[in-house]
Structure 1
């Protein structure tokens, strides 16, 4: 994944990179080797407390226009997304990257994840 930086005429520095969903197998499962000790110090003998025994993250479902990937533009104050990814964006001049950044859609920030208190 190439990452580029450019500066706008207003002096804002942006970083841009491409995101290609689905390049790794989201259903990857590691089988065979069990790193846990066969005789743990404390063995739990009660009932299973997990609701779901498969603790892998569920596959990410994207809207169709994002399925082929996007360019992410990020500066210290905002993030934007552009679809589809322009061909040869890695070689574009900075002025063209600035123009594409202007066309990109703002991305709403995710709400902060609450941290458990110690």
Structure 2
């Protein structure tokens, strides 16, 4: 099982960020955190890196259910979605596969929740094309 779902688009990086955010919103996710990796690496290490952004997506009802089912699961939240510039014309979007990351946790209730979240994130990725 792959630990992510992904797709590539031939679009502008900033427009892709907006598009991903919109698709996540339609599936009930909000963005809790945004990490601009290339800016951070430049500031901290003086390294040039491709455009790479991590969006920390959260679906509050499912997050609540997951926390009720497994109180330490917060260590694996939120669901990260990355947007990275692959080349001048290509942007890749990848979302974590919650089913893959939850395999280590032996909790049937959590597996059911992870399955539903996986389906939502798959839809986001598939709707980007």
TM-score (norm 2): 0.25
Structure with higher Rg: it is 1
Greater relative contact order, per chain length (Cα 8 Å cut-off, separation 6+): 2
- Whose strand fraction is larger, Structure 1's or Structure 2's? 2
- Whose helix fraction is larger, Structure 1's or Structure 2's? 2
